[in-house]
């Protein structure tokens, strides 16, 4: 029997929800938000208009994820590479947009019982942005529902470098590196995501078939869903469609599938 429709879903979302098995929802969804620039170009608008519209998509997607009971959602907002490859005016706009988003969203996050957290090299961000981030995190830290993690100034290789340094540092404090024992659990404990389960589903918008240095360790067994929809057009309905597709897949974790190993992977 299907459970009751969660409160707050639109009619289209409720229809899509009815196609899902509520017992097999992903525990953690990660999203590579891409296509803001192309969305703007198609409308003959400046790139920053695409980012502004992208913030609306963040709002819709986050609310729907929380309403249907997804425990963790991680959004790739700014990669470390973004700083180097975009004009300073665009980077400054993105920083200002992030500050405004954080200020405006805290009441909505609280209404939806969402806890806000971050991954990435936060200390390299402008000080005023770091202060606003801390403020928003503190203001939502008492919430017990969905964990929303924004990846800001994030890169997976930098995360691994930081994890290995942290491992070595911890060993040096604790009997010396001669005693250092490195295994998968030890590495996972030193990642930024040590409090989160690995994502079951990673979504990439705007049709690109790349992971772009996002959660490379954690996505080892994730189902990959790529949609041609550009990020500013992405809404809760698209999230539900992605979950529908996810539920059609058979997850094997390297074991044999029900077809006795043909196509196992």
Where on the chain is the footprint of ligand FPP (CB under 6 A)? 33-38, 51, 54-55, 58, 77-78, 82, 97-98, 101, 150, 231
Query: In this structure, what token pair is assigned to residue 175?
Result: 């009997």
Rank residues 51 and 190 by Cβ distance to ligand FPP and give the closer one: 51
Q: Which residue is nearest to ligand FPP (CB)?
A: 37
Sequence-distant (6+) residues with CB within 8 A of 215 are 30, 74, 151, 156, 193, 199, 202
Strand arrangement of the beta sheet that strand 223-226 belongs to: 115-119, 147-154, 72-79, 28-32, 201-204, 223-226
CA 240 to chain CA centroid, nearest Å:
15
| Cβ burial 170-180 (10 Å sphere, 16+ → b, else e) | ebeeeeeeeee
Decide if 34 is catalytic: yes
The catalytic position among 36, 82, 213, 233 is 82
Known catalytic membership, residue 82: yes
Torsions phi, psi for 72 (to 5 deg): -140, 135
**CB of 21 or CB of 208, closer to ligand FPP:** 208
Residue 165 CA to its chain's centroid (Å): 24
Contact between 233 and 39 (Cβ < 8 Å)? yes
Of 214 and 225, the one with the shorter C-beta distance to ligand FPP is: 214
Phi–psi pair at 226, nearest 5 degrees? -110, 130
Return all residues near 119 (Cβ < 8 A) that are at least 6 apart: 74, 149, 150, 151, 152, 154, 159, 192, 193
Question: Catalytic site residues?
Answer: 34, 82
């Amino acid at each position: 029997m299907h459970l009751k429709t969660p409160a707050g879903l639109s009619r289209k979302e409720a229809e899509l929800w009815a196609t899902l098995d509520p017992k097999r929802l992903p525990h953690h969804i990660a999203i590579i938000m891409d296509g803001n620039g192309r969305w703007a170009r198609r409308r003959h608008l400046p790139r920053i208009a695409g980012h502004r519209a992208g913030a609306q998509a963040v709002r819709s997607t986050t609310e729907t994820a929380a309403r249907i009971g997804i425990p963790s959602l991680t959004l790739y907002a700014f990669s470390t590479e973004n700083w180097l490859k975009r004009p300073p005016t665009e980077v400054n706009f993105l920083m200002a947009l992030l500050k405004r988003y954080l200020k405006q969203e805290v009441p909505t996050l609280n209404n939806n019982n969402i806890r806000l957290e971050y991954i990435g090299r936060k200390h390299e961000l402008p000080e005023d942005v770091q202060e606003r981030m801390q403020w928003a995190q503190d203001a939502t830290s008492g919430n017990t529902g969905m964990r929303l993690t924004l990846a800001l100034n994030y890169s997976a290789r930098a995360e691994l470098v930081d994890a290995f340094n942290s491992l070595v540092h911890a060993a040096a404090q604790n009997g010396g590196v001669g005693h250092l024992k490195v295994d998968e659990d030890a590495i996972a404990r030193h990642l930024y995501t040590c409090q989160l389960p690995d994502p079951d589903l990673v979504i990439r918008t705007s049709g690109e078939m790349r992971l772009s240095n996002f959660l490379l360790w954690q996505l080892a067994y994730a189902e990959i869903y790529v949609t041609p929809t550009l990020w500013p057009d992405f809404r809760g309905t698209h999230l539900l469609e992605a979950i529908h597709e996810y539920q059609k897949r058979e997850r094997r974790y390297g074991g044999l599938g029900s077809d006795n190993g043909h196509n196992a992977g």
